[in-house]
Amino acid sequence: MAREVPEREQQRLRLEGVGRRYGRRGRWVLSGVDLEVAPGALIRIEGANGTGKSTLLRLLAGLDAPTVGRIVGRPRTAYVPERFPAALPFTAADYLMHLGTVHGLSRPAAADAADEWLERFGAAEHARTPMSELSKGSSQKVAVAQALLAEPELLVLDEAWTGLDDPARGELEGAVVERTAAGGAVVFVDHDPRRLAGRPDATYAVVEGTLNPRTGNGDAHADGPHVVVRAQGPAGTAPPDEVTELAALVEEAAGDAHRITVPESRSDAVLRALLGARPPWHVVSVEPEPEPAPASVPDLARGIVPRPREPESIETESP
Ligand SMILES: Nc1ncnc2c1ncn2[C@@H]1O[C@H](COP(=O)(O)OP(=O)(O)OP(=O)(O)O)[C@@H](O)[C@H]1O
C-alpha cells in the first residue's frame, strides 16, 4: 500500500532562471529555465539528442547545481540515472536494503520493500546475486527499485524503461501512476513517444537550451494525430533546427537515419525543412504513428502548475 504524501506537507520544487554550462567557457546547455513541479504532477521532458535533458534531470534530482539561477523547495527525491553504476560490491537485496535505510526506513521495512520491488519487477530470483554479476536488464530493475522503494515525493526517471523487459516496463508505468496518485511528483525522459501516453500533466521540450511547454494540457500527443518521418542526412549530422522545433520527438535510428514524430498538421513543414536543407535530407518513409497501447490503471486528476514565462519565450503552436 503506497504511503500517501499530504500535499500541504510537501516541498514544491522550483527552478528559477536556471542556467547550466560545463566549464567557465563552455556553451550554455540550459538557460533561463523556470519550472515548478507541483505535488502529484507527471511531467514529460522531450528533446533531441544532446539538447540537455539529462542535465535538466540531474538538476531536478539535486545531483548537480545550476551555474546561474536557483532551485528552491527540495522534496524527498529519488532518481534513476541514464547509466546505472552496476558494479557495486553488494547483492541486489543488500544494496536495496542499504538504500532503503539511507532513505529513512528501518532495516526490516527496507528489507521488506527490497523484496517487494524485486518481486514486482520479476527479479526476486536475483536478490542474492552480486550486483556485478547481474545482466543489464536485471541491473536496470534494481536501478528502478532503489528509486521506488522509499516512495519519494519527487521521482526523476532518465530513460528508466531502457533495458527492461515488457512486463517490467508495464510495472514501472503502473508504479509511476501509483506514485502520482499518492501525491508524489514524477518527471521523466523516455525515447518512446508512447510511454505513459495521454497521462502527463505537462510536456516540455528542451530546444536550444530553453524549456518550451508543448501544448495547453501538456500532452505532446494532444495536438492531433502524429506521423513518423524516417529521414537520413549527412553522416553524424542532427536534423535542421527547424525540424527539431516542429517535431514532438526526434530520435536517432539505425545508421544515419532519424525517426521524427510530428503532428500531422506540421508534417508538410517538416518535410519542406528536410528537403530544403543544404545538403538535402533523404526522406525514407512517412507513416501514421502507431496507436498507443491502452493504459492499465484508471486515470486520476492531478495538478501541475507551470511557472509563468516571459511572453517572448512562450512557444506558440502554429496551426
Ligand atoms: N559532465 C559533463 N561535462 C561536460 N559536458 C557535459 C557533461 N554532461 C553533459 N555535457 C554536455 O551537455 C550537453 C547536453 O548533454 P545531456 O546529456 O544533458 O543531453 P541529453 O539531451 O540528455 O542527451 P541524450 O538524449 O543523448 O541523452 C551535451 O553537449 C553534453 O556533451
Burial of 230 from C-beta contacts in 10 A (0-12 / 13-18 / 19+): middle
pLDDT at 160: 96
Rounded to two decimals, the pTM is 0.71
Is the CATH number of domain 9-220+301-308 3.40.50.300?
Answer: yes
Which atom of ligand 1 is found nearest the CA of 206? 21
Pairing of β 77-80 and β 154-158: parallel
Residue nearest to atom 31 of ligand 1 (CA): 50
Which of 46, 54, 64, 189 gets mutated to test ligand 1 (max ligand atoms within 8 A of its CB)? 54
49 lines ligand 1 (CB under 6 A): yes
Which atom of ligand 1 is found nearest the CA of 82? 27
Reference 140, options 84, 219, 64; nearest CA is 84
pLDDT at 6: 53
Q: Please determine, for the modelled complex, whether the ipTM score is greater than 0.85.
A: yes
pLDDT at 108: 94
pLDDT at 292: 58
User: What order of strands is seen across the sheet that includes strand 28-37?
Assistant: 28-37, 13-21, 68-72
51 lines ligand 1 (CB under 6 A): yes
pLDDT at 290: 79
Parse the chain into domains and list their residue ranges.
Answer: 9-220+301-308, 226-288
| Pairwise CA distance, residues 103 & 275, whole Å | 52
22 lines ligand 1 (CB under 6 A): yes
Give distance in angstroms: CA of 29 to centre of ligand 1: 8
Q: What are the grid coordinates assigned to 207, written together?
A: 530546444
Which of 18, 51, 67, 191 gets mutated to test ligand 1 (max ligand atoms within 8 A of its CB)? 51
Residue nearest to atom 23 of ligand 1 (CA): 50
pLDDT at 3: 53
pLDDT mean for each 10 residues of the chain (319 residues): 53 93 94 94 92 96 96 94 82 94 92 95 94 92 94 96 94 96 95 88 92 64 76 88 81 85 80 89 90 44 35 35
Angle of helix 107-120 relative to helix 92-102, nearest 10 degrees, comes to 130
pLDDT at 226: 85
Contacts for 217 with CB less than 8 Å, ≥ 6 apart: 201
Give distance in angstroms: CA of 66 to centre of ligand 1: 14
| Pairwise CA distance, residues 285 & 136, whole Å | 33
CA distances (Å), 13 to each of 61, 79, 205, 283, in order? 10, 15, 19, 42
Q: What are the grid coordinates assigned to 84, written together?
A: 546505472
Give distance in angstroms: CA of 251 to centre of ligand 1: 15
